[in-house]
Amino acid sequence: MARISYVNGQYVDHRNASVHIEDRGFQFADSVYEVFAVQNSCLIDGDAHLDRLDRSLNELSITQPMSRAALKLVIREVLRRNHITYGALYLQVTRGQADRDFPFPSDITPTLVLTVKRLKPFDYNAVSQGIKVISIDDIRWKRCDIKTVSLLAGAMGKTQAKQAGAYEAWQVDGEGCITEGTSSNAWIVTQDGLLVTRSLSTDILGGITRKTLLAIAEKENLKFEERSFTLAEAKSAREAFSSSSTVFIRPIIQIDDAKIGDGKPGPFCLNVLKLYGQYMENCS
């Protein structure tokens, strides 16, 4: 079955889906995106992702490509045409196509692209396996709160992680504190059983999974704090994990050469993972 993508009003064979070489997304990374998880045909936290998309567009003064209601119809149609029950939906909006020149051009039509990828359903046993992370300097720009496609620092970090036999790289700021993973938010559980994640600022992306997990923690009366933590604190934490929309929650069993806890996924993280799985099951 042919994979179908959406490009500027057309549903096209994925192999022929393309935008112009003078698109500002290609020339300047002048472009924002969202990745949604699809579980049992349901878009997980769809409105929260669309809210974040609106925010990214507003921060960069990129025109909304269409109304939210119209965008939801396009999303549904792309999922329908690809018969996606479990997978990831990728949506990108660029400022549009114009002769290459740095200042934002006026009167430009944004480019809208949607693609989908089929993925395995959320499987507690698979995702509850622990992962290793490495630490790297955070070399990114100062607006990490905007979800732009300028992802080269993340790609470099993830490559370094892969070469070191790790799954993710946690980025460290000038003060020695963890900002976030290259494509995930970072969490620790202290020796006192307190859940900690960095507070929202321009230093990190406001993850949708992060937001949902904090709401779950609140509901379940789990003690949590939004604050910075150092790499040293992370290495001596009782537990650690990462969160993102399509990779969900991953227990971390090692940071650099330091084993976390007893080197196995811990009960706090496994409980959160179970609760998040239930949350996704109840999505409508």
Catalytic residues: 147
Q: Which is nearer to ligand PMP, 58 or 109 (CB)?
A: 58
With beta carbons less than 8 A apart as the criterion, state whether 176 and 232 touch: yes
Q: Which is nearer to ligand PMP, 94 or 97 (CB)?
A: 94
Q: At 273, which helix (H) or strand (E)?
A: helix 267-281
Nearest to 24 by CA among 124, 81, 108, 88: 108
Place of tokens 């949902």: 212
Q: Which is nearer to ligand PMP, 39 or 185 (CB)?
A: 185
Strand order in the sheet with 42-43: 10-13, 4-7, 111-118, 87-94, 31-39, 42-43
Q: What phi-psi label fits residue 96: left (phi over 0), alpha (psi between -120 and 50 degrees) or beta?
A: left
Smallest distance, ligand PMP to C-beta of residue 209, A: 3
In angstroms, the CA 254 to CA 265 distance is 10
Smallest distance, ligand PMP to C-beta of residue 182, A: 6
Q: Which residues sit at the interface with ligand PMP, rule CB under 6 A?
A: 35, 180, 183-185, 205, 207-210, 243-245
Smallest distance, ligand PMP to C-beta of residue 185, A: 5
Smallest distance, ligand PMP to C-beta of residue 262, A: 27
With beta carbons less than 8 A apart as the criterion, state whether 113 and 131 touch: no
Note the Cα 258 to chain centre separation in Å: 26
- Read off the DSSP letter of residue 23: B
In angstroms, the CA 187 to CA 131 distance is 13
In angstroms, the CA 176 to CA 140 distance is 15
Smallest distance, ligand PMP to C-beta of residue 269, A: 16
Q: Which is nearer to ligand PMP, 32 or 98 (CB)?
A: 32
Q: Which is nearer to ligand PMP, 98 or 131 (CB)?
A: 131
In angstroms, the CA 144 to CA 150 distance is 10
